[in-house]
Amino acid sequence: MPQLFGTDGVRGLANADLTADLALGLAQATAVVLGQGRSAEARRAAGKRPVAVLARDPRISGEFLSAAVAAGLASSGVDVLEAGVLPTPATAFLIADIDADFGVMISASHNPAPDNGIKIFARGGTKLPDAVERRIEEYLDRPKLSPTGADVGRIIRFADAEDRYVLHLLGSLPNRLDGIHVVLDCAHGAAAGVSPETFRDAGAKVTIIGNDPDGMNINDGVGSTHLDLLSKAVLEHGADLGIAHDGDADRCLAVDAAGKVVDGDQIMAILAVSMQERGKLKDDTLVATVMSNLGLHVAMREHGINVVQTGVGDRYVLEAMNANAYSLGGEQSGHVIMADYATTGDGILTGLHIVAEMARTGKTLAELAAVMQVYPQILVNVTGVDRTRLVGDEVVDAAVRAAEVELGDDGRVLLRPSGTEQLVRVMVEAADQPTADRLAHRLADVVRERLAI
């Protein structure tokens, strides 16, 4: 069968690619693979059933998909704690908080409303390794668990799920947020109920946009992929900053009081310096992907902070963090992982800690973000090429070396083949935009000529 799991769960057009039948089958297969661990067997020995947490974002299709998942799990002998609409990081936290055997989140993150996805978390709220995802796929075509009588699972409302998560977020803060006015863009998504409440409880003055989910408007012109409305709202209300979440609230981007965007790299720089000053940055190390801006590396070097680079994708950031127990990592897109408090990216947590640093230092967001100079960056997608021939092409390699010599210490070059399409991504950073543009297009021409299909 074709591979179902992508870089972040199983995704597709709801009721076309991602059907109720598939959701049911995935849940039953997951019950076999994750419901047979040591903790589940200990529960059975005590006369109890395995336990899973289930939550969703407010997409209309999440209603039938979560019902299908709940049915699949319960019919396989798993008790389902149904948490309703909550952020993805809340689901991960709750799995660990109540020591559930695993959990499922129904969301397609920043994708438009017609799409949806199924994200599965292991015990402890961690993402699944590739090998476990493959096992779940294999069990789709194998016999399922079919308990009867008292061994059938129950579907129970997780009544205090949101309260547990909010208390966890508030407990992570080093100080209150009093005196700071923040505009929150909840993307008409899973943050709508939790984020405003938490920021207010922490002491901030809150103005809200993107906070009226109707099942179809998630990410529609709002949220972390559409920051214009947030910038406008910050200026209109005279706020100190704006925080934007995506549909499932695992990302966070910001705008300062002047409406200028503060991206994930700048957010990581702010948090890294703050955590270092407070003795919270493990081994004075930050984990970031190869796509992070050169300015982040320069800023961290100036503060004595080491940067570990990974491949693109939060799962690779997490792998590097977990391997060495690093406390901070993330991506330019705003997917920031604070390992002392979360097992995955948490946009609300990240936003709270940005505002907490403003309150602690008395600095504006623009002043904090100035710790890092953002180098001009251009990304050119070269299509119609054989990406498999990129590595080892002598002419392309020579062109890259020539560009690197011209840039010196004031820029960098990255050529990356797509993992799914016949294209090569050419990224260049330089001290000025014209230089970045010129070198990127020159390299793109070489790639196009050498690797043409």
244 occurs within a structural domain: yes
192 occurs within a structural domain: yes
Residues in the chain: 453
For the chain, what is the mean pLDDT? 94
110 occurs within a structural domain: yes
- Are residues 95 and 198 located together in one domain of the fold? no
Q: Is the pLDDT of residue 42 over 70?
A: yes
- Are residues 401 and 365 located together in one domain of the fold? no
CATH of the domain at 441: 3.30.310.50
Residue 10 tokens, joined: 């199983």
- Are residues 282 and 324 located together in one domain of the fold? yes
* Residues 6 or more apart in contact with residue 401 via CB below 8 angstroms: none
2 occurs within a structural domain: no
Q: Is the pLDDT of residue 360 over 70?
A: yes
- Of 68, 92, 93, 95, residue with least CA distance to 81: 95
- Are residues 47 and 103 located together in one domain of the fold? yes
> Which residue ranges make up the annotated binding site for Mg(2+)?
109, 246, 248, 250
Q: Which of 159, 186, 208 is the last residue of a domain?
A: 159
Q: Residues 125, 127, 133, CA angle at the centre, nearest 5°?
A: 130
Per-residue pLDDT, 453: 84
- Are residues 418 and 285 located together in one domain of the fold? no
The sheet with strand 261-262 has its strands ordered as 205-209, 181-185, 241-244, 253-256, 261-262
Per-residue pLDDT, 420: 66
190 occurs within a structural domain: yes
d(CA 247, CA 227) in angstroms, rounded, equals 14
Beta pairing, strands 79-85 & 51-56: parallel
Q: Which of 159, 189, 218 is the last residue of a domain?
A: 159
End-to-end CA distance of the chain: 29
In which domain, by residue range, is 362 found? 164-369
d(CA 329, CA 271) in angstroms, rounded, equals 10
Domain count, the chain: 3
- Are residues 224 and 358 located together in one domain of the fold? yes
- Are residues 431 and 363 located together in one domain of the fold? no
- Of 274, 233, 280, residue with least CA distance to 365: 274
- Are residues 45 and 146 located together in one domain of the fold? yes
* Residues 6 or more apart in contact with residue 292 via CB below 8 angstroms: 265, 268, 307, 309, 331, 332
Burial 227-239 (b: 16+ CB within 10 A, else e): bebbbebbeeeeb
CATH of the domain at 282: 3.40.120.10
- At 39, is the pLDDT very low, low, confident or very high (cuts 50, 70, 90)? low
DSSP β-bridge partners for residue 417 = 424
- Are residues 149 and 238 located together in one domain of the fold? no
Per-residue pLDDT, 36: 75
Residue 107 tokens, joined: 């969301």
Structure-token match 């800023």, residue found? 299
For residue range 373-416, list pLDDT tens digits in order: 999 989 999 999 999 999 989 999 999 999 999 999 889 999 98
**Average pLDDT estimate for 211-232:** 96
**Average pLDDT estimate for 159-169:** 98
Q: Is the pLDDT of residue 1 over 70?
A: no
**Average pLDDT estimate for 243-251:** 96
- Other C-beta atoms within 10 Å of 187: how many? 35
3 occurs within a structural domain: no
Catalytic-residue membership of 146: no
What is the percent of the chain where pLDDT is above 90? 88
pTM here is 0.91
200 class by beta-carbon count within 10 Å (0-12 exposed, 13-18 middle, 19+ buried): middle
Helices (H), 327-393: 347-361, 365-369
- At 60, is the pLDDT very low, low, confident or very high (cuts 50, 70, 90)? very high
**How is residue 384 annotated by DSSP?**
S
d(CA 135, CA 33) in angstroms, rounded, equals 7
User: Virtual CA dihedral for 212, 358, 266, 6, nearest 10 degrees?
Assistant: -40
The number of angstroms, rounded, from the C-alpha of 176 to the middle of its chain's C-alpha atoms is 25
349 occurs within a structural domain: yes
Structure-token match 């179809």, residue found? 216
d(CA 318, CA 126) in angstroms, rounded, equals 9
- Are residues 203 and 315 located together in one domain of the fold? yes
- Are residues 18 and 104 located together in one domain of the fold? yes
Per-residue pLDDT, 317: 93
Q: What is the largest CA-CA distance in the chain?
A: 73
Beta pairing, strands 285-289 & 306-310: parallel
- Are residues 381 and 354 located together in one domain of the fold? no
- At 422, is the pLDDT very low, low, confident or very high (cuts 50, 70, 90)? confident
Q: Which of 115, 138, 159 is the last residue of a domain?
A: 159
Per-residue pLDDT, 169: 98
Per-residue pLDDT, 7: 74
Q: Is the pLDDT of residue 125 over 70?
A: yes
d(CA 185, CA 175) in angstroms, rounded, equals 23
Q: Is the pLDDT of residue 40 over 90?
A: no
**How is residue 151 annotated by DSSP?**
G
From 76, 109, 274, 292, the catalytic residue: 109
**Average pLDDT estimate for 291-313:** 93
1 occurs within a structural domain: no
